[in-house]
Structure 1
Amino acid sequence: MSDNFIFYLKIILQGLPDTLSLSIFGILSAGILAIVFSCLLSLNSKLLTKTIRTYIIIFTGSPLLVQLFLIYYGPSQFGEFLSKYPAFYDFISSPWFCAYIALTLNSAAYTTQIFYGALKSIPQGQWQACSALGMNKIQTLKILMPYALKRALSTYSNEVVFVVKGTALASMIPVMDLMGYSNALNGEYYDFSIFVVAGLIYLLINGILSTIMRIIEKTALTFEN
């Protein structure tokens, strides 16, 4: 059993770079998008608000797996046109890039709700104080957004973990991440312990990530203790 465990572990870990790169780039991109969308929502522009809310409804209301399939197989519907630009077509249709886009857009929708909710929960007196100092909306957001992000860390840490777990679906399009190699192994050996090994790796990654997020949260909120 121990020999099988080591054998499976060595092979499955070959997918770790794809899992980590999808997680890291997806989390960073989604976080940046969410900050931008939260600020735009705060500007109270009817057109922007409707557009962003429609985007949020679409990406929070549909399964991530469906989004992966649509983004991965979508470019092939324009193959005749895109064939004129082979390098660009190969790039946007690559499994890793499609998984990255799907994870980013999906996580950004949820993260926007978290960040915007934290922004709205800031006491009205702070908004009024900035206004009394002659600050416009954008200047006010520059002051209050960092504070809102600190308050959102506790909830946001859960979304970070969800992104890492969401990368497991990337093997369906297919990306050779941890689950990609696990599925390949299972197709050859039909051994359920393969997924036990994969599950332990995900558990370790998320455990480390959760610890890091708790440290960041504790450091960011030190001034309030």
Structure 2
Amino acid sequence: MLTYLTTLLGGLGTTLWLTLTSLLLGASLALLMTWILERRVVALSQLVRLWILLFTGTPLLVQIFLIYYGPGQFTWIKESWLWTWLRQPGICAMLALGFNTAAYSTRLFKGALDTIPAGEVEACRALGLSPGQTLWMKVRHAARRIVPAYSNEVILVLKGSSLASTITIMDIMGLAQRLNAQTYDTLAVFGVAGVLYLSMNGLLTALFRWCEKRALRFQS
């Protein structure tokens, strides 16, 4: 068991890198798409809704396969500078996870903003606040609702990163699969992998509980 743990810890950095970069990409896109929906930009809003439909309505594993194997079917992509990046499984997994969490996070952020009573928005307008200041007020009041829900999304991305092993990435799950193929000690190998994921999820849960308490200050 100790040997398995030592081996699997070798994939911890890859798992954390993949999770962090996917969350950064996803959060950036989600904030942009939420802003587009809030501003009601007609054409762009339709594209955002289509994005959300595609990435929330199909399995993450299918998205990983399409992004990793799909571009190689087009000659013009293979002959362009894009192929330098799209041929790398780590980049493809990060894009798939990032695009997926962006869709779910956009729906989460927009839903939290929509719960703000219309009277508070009207009060901001009556006080002469700019649209940007009004949006900031809504964000402050929605923070209490966003933090607990977004913590679940972060954990889902961490667990979803295990699917990256299907495209040859040696993260925790990738190393676990290789160990299992070498030892056939399935219960012990994947048991240790499960403990590692459980430990990371526990730490993330504790961190977000602390953030949730901090977010209470925005309610005053």
TM-score (norm 2): 0.93
Amino acid at match of 1:17: G
| 1:142 correspondence with 2:136 | yes
For the residue of structure 1 that corresponds to 2:129, the secondary structure is coil
Selected match of 1:26 from 22, 26, 51: 22
Contact 2:5 2:192 in 1 (8 A): yes
Question: 2:64 maps to which residue?
Answer: 68
Q: Residues 82 and 89 of structure 1 are in contact (CA less than 8 Å); yes or no, is this contact kept in structure 2?
A: yes
Q: In the TM superposition, what is the alpha-carbon distance from 1:139 to its structure 2 partner?
A: 3.7
* Structure 1 unmatched runs, 5+: none
Q: Which moved more, 1:41-50 or 1:192-201?
A: 41-50
What CA deviation, in whole Å up to 9, does each residue of 1:125-182 have, x standing for no partner?
2211221233343342133223323321111111110000000000001211000000
Shift of 1:197: 0.4
Partner of 2:92: 98
Structure 2 Cα separation of the partners of residues 24 and 83 of structure 1: 28
For 2:124 and 2:155, the matched residues in 1 are separated by: 35
Within 5 Å, give how 1:1-225 maps onto structure 2. 5-78=1-74, 80-85=75-80, 88-192=82-186, 193-222=188-217, 224=219
Provide the C-alpha distance between the structure 1 equivalents of 2:165 and 2:50, rounded to a whole number of angstroms: 28
Offset of residue 214 of structure 1: 0.6
Q: Judge conservation of contact 1:43–1:137 (CA < 8 Å) in 2.
A: no
Identify unmatched segments of 5+ residues in structure 2.
none
- Whether the 8 Å CA contact 2:19–2:158 is kept in 1: the answer is yes
Report SS of the residue matched to 1:221. Answer: helix
Q: Distance in 2 between matches of 1:39 and 1:169?
A: 30
C-alpha deviation, 1:50, in angstroms: 1.3
- Aligned-partner Cα distance in 2 for 1:65–1:97: 15
CA distance in 2, matches of 1:64, 1:147: 32
CA-atom RMSD, angstroms? 1.6
SS of the residue corresponding to residue 170 of structure 2 reads coil
Maintained 8 Å contact 2:144/2:219: no
2: CA distance, partners of 1:49 / 1:223: 29
- 1:172 partner SS: helix
- Give 1:43 deviation, angstroms: 1.1
Shift in Å, 1:29: 1.9
Using the TM superposition, give the Cα deviation of residue 47 of structure 1 relative to its aligned residue in structure 2, in angstroms: 1.5
Q: Deviations over 1:89-145 (max 9, x none)?
A: 232221110010000110111111111001000111221122123334334213322
- Partner Cα separation in structure 1 for residue 130 and residue 163 of structure 2: 43
3-state SS in 2 of match to 1:67: helix
Local SS of the residue matching 2:128: coil
- My pick for the range that moved more, 24-33 or 133-142, is 133-142
**Bigger shift: 203-212 or 127-136?**
127-136
- Kindly tell me the number of residue pairs found equivalent between the two proteins: 219
